[in-house]
């Protein structure tokens, strides 16, 4: 096996071992299961509500673009049908799925991340305030030192003697 093939395989193995691939696989499986739940809600709740005004199966709603729109005994369709009921059913599935994902997953996660960012900013602010406080204390100590040094008068032998007030 050449080194190029080994490096490609090593790169692929590293890619698979990262958490992103596992997270993506879990998301796909959960998404598929969640789609079944949404389809069940649409077929079990939404379609009967719509059925109060017509048929329970939205897929049966159609319009005929070119007559005659009918299926013969052999299963062959004649005419051109627009299946707007199937489009409506798919749209309802999408909207319900998007709403549930947003309200149960995206919104709580964004609130959590915003709260976490506020806490991190508050921690940073505390540490910045401590640094500013330490810096101001250091400035005060330097001023005191400078004041003490300026109060000293040089003596005849070169040593500093404090001046009297």
pLDDT band at 34 (very low <50, low <70, confident <90, very high): confident
Q: What's the chain's Rg over C-alpha atoms?
A: 38
- Contacts with 16 (C-beta within 8 Å, 6 or more apart), sequence order: none
The answer to the question of residue 11 being in a domain is: yes
Looking at the 3D structure of the chain, how many domains does it have? 1
Q: Which two tokens stand for residue 94?
A: 């999408």
pLDDT band at 135 (very low <50, low <70, confident <90, very high): low
pLDDT tens sequence across 84-123: 888 887 888 788 878 877 888 778 888 988 898 888 888 7
What pLDDT sits at residue 162?
53
Q: What is the mean pLDDT of residues 69-85?
A: 80
The answer to the question of residue 149 being in a domain is: no
pLDDT tens sequence across 7-16: 888 887 777 7
Output the average pLDDT for the chain.
76
The answer to the question of residue 116 being in a domain is: no
The answer to the question of residue 93 being in a domain is: no
Q: Could you give phi then psi for residue 9, rounded to 5 degrees?
A: -65, -40
More confident residue, 2 or 79: 79
User: Does the pLDDT at position 165 exceed 50?
Assistant: no
What pLDDT sits at residue 89?
79
Is residue 107 within 8 A of residue 49, CB to CB? The reply is: no
User: Does the pLDDT at position 46 exceed 50?
Assistant: yes
The answer to the question of residue 137 being in a domain is: no
Q: Report the b/e string of 120-136 with b at 16+ CB within 10 A.
A: eeeeeeeeeeeeeeeee
The answer to the question of residue 154 being in a domain is: no
What pLDDT sits at residue 104?
80
Rounded distance between C-alpha atoms, residue 95 and residue 42, angstroms: 11
The single residue listed with the structure tokens 């070169």 is 158
- Provide the residue range defining the domain that includes 28: 1-56
CA 121 to chain centre: 19
The whole model's pTM is what? 0.49
In this predicted structure, which of 25-29, 71-75, 128-132, 138-142 has the lowest mean pLDDT? 128-132
From the number of C-beta atoms within 10 Å of its C-beta (0-12, 13-18, 19+), residue 165 rates as exposed
pLDDT tens sequence across 143-152: 888 888 888 8
The answer to the question of residue 17 being in a domain is: yes
The answer to the question of residue 31 being in a domain is: yes
């Amino acid at each position: 096996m050449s080194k190029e093939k080994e490096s490609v395989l090593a790169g692929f193995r590293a890619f698979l071992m990262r958490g992103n691939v596992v997270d993506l696989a879990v998301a796909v499986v959960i998404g598929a299961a969640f789609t079944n739940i949404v389809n069940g809600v649409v077929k079990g709740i939404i379609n009967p509500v719509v059925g109060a005004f017509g048929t329970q199966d939205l897929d049966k709603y159609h319009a005929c673009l070119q007559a005659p729109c009918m299926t013969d005994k052999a299963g062959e369709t004649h005419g051109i049908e627009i299946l707007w009921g199937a489009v409506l059913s798919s749209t309802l599935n999408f909207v319900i799925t998007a709403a549930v994902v947003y309200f149960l997953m995206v919104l709580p996660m964004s609130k959590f991340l915003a709260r976490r960012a506020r806490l991190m900013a508050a921690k940073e602010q505390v540490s910045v305030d401590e640094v500013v406080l330490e810096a101001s204390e250091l400035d005060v100590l330097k001023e005191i030192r400078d004041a003490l040094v300026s109060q000293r008068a040089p003596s005849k032998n070169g040593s500093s003697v404090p001046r009297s007030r």
